[in-house]
Structure 1
């Protein structure tokens, strides 16, 4: 289904996208970031927090050196964009380290975890879970992209094919 090249490419893409978003959102005022824009997670900061929460949760499940976040309101993981930015940078670094340390054989087999949302233990193919991890990031960054555009901000380039070999 997927291999290490896919995982490392998507880790680079994730960091590139988050770096571009950080450059935009750190210049916005707090009220604009927490304004309810009718998105599934409400605001720009709420959506960015949910994405960070999900990344931490999945990386912990994958055995990366990341603490799993507490259950609760995933939109309130960090209170400010400065706090989000610092944690986002750390998690992107951990994602890159995890991806580079993988071997193709590591993607074989199943992953089992307890899902609080489903209140039971789930088991799925690990490769599918990893593909979901990156798809989840892209999905919610697309929502942020739309909210930034609606807020009058210049949204970043998000096309994977335009990422250079350095992830920029």
Structure 2
């Protein structure tokens, strides 16, 4: 089985889920957006920035170039509008990277260094799975933060994306 179509679907799902999440977060005030709510990355701002940071780190490892944040908790954008614009651009970048990846690469090993400089090697397809799973994990945290503010939270389940995409 060629894994590439599966990852292309995950990239489209990823964009869909992020758009829904950001749309739900749009009514927050600036103060609410940065308020520390005790989440792993503190606030919704910290959580959403972490997702962007991790995507940039992984895409830099995959492509060999691009932005390379210095730490996993770096705040790339303090404002919601700037972060939302950056998220949209990164989702398009992910779609492009997956589309440009030859099917054979999914069967290779990716050698990289983590943020501490420690070398690692992992199967490329598993790294790509991690990229999407990581976003899903932290989107769940962001979803919970939105519900704490009393906002209507969107359905983000993959199956709903599939049903809408038919």
Please, what TM-score do these two structures have when normalized by structure 2? 0.91
Runs of 4+ in 1 over 4 A off after TM superposition: 164-168
The answer on whether the counterparts of 2:60 and 2:68 sit within 8 Å (CA) in structure 1 is no
CA distance in 1, matches of 2:19, 2:7: 18
Counterparts in 2 of 1:160 and 1:98: CA distance versus 1, 3 Å: same
1:163 counterpart residue number: 161
Return the offset for 1:12: 0.6
CA distance in 2, matches of 1:50, 1:71: 12
Counting matched residue pairs gives 166
CA-to-partner distance for each residue in 1:97-117, whole Å, 9 max, x for gaps? 112223321211110111123
CA-to-partner distance for each residue in 1:55-96, whole Å, 9 max, x for gaps? 1111121118x6233313624111100110111010011111
2:47 counterpart residue number: 47
1:76 counterpart residue number: 75
The answer on whether the counterparts of 1:41 and 1:50 sit within 8 Å (CA) in structure 2 is yes
Counterpart secondary structure, 1:154:
coil
Structure 2 unmatched runs, 5+ = none
2:22 counterpart residue number: 22
Equivalent of 1:128 in 111, 126, 129: 126
Residues 149-160 of structure 1 aligned to structure 2 (within 5 Å): 149-160=147-158
CA distance in 2, matches of 1:162, 1:115: 34
Return the offset for 1:2: 7.7
CA distance in 2, matches of 1:165, 1:103: 28
Structure 1 unmatched runs, 5+ = none
Please, what TM-score do these two structures have when normalized by structure 1? 0.90
Counterpart secondary structure, 1:122:
strand
Equivalent of 1:142 in 137, 140, 143: 140
Aligned-residue CA RMSD (Å) = 2.1
Return the offset for 1:129: 0.7
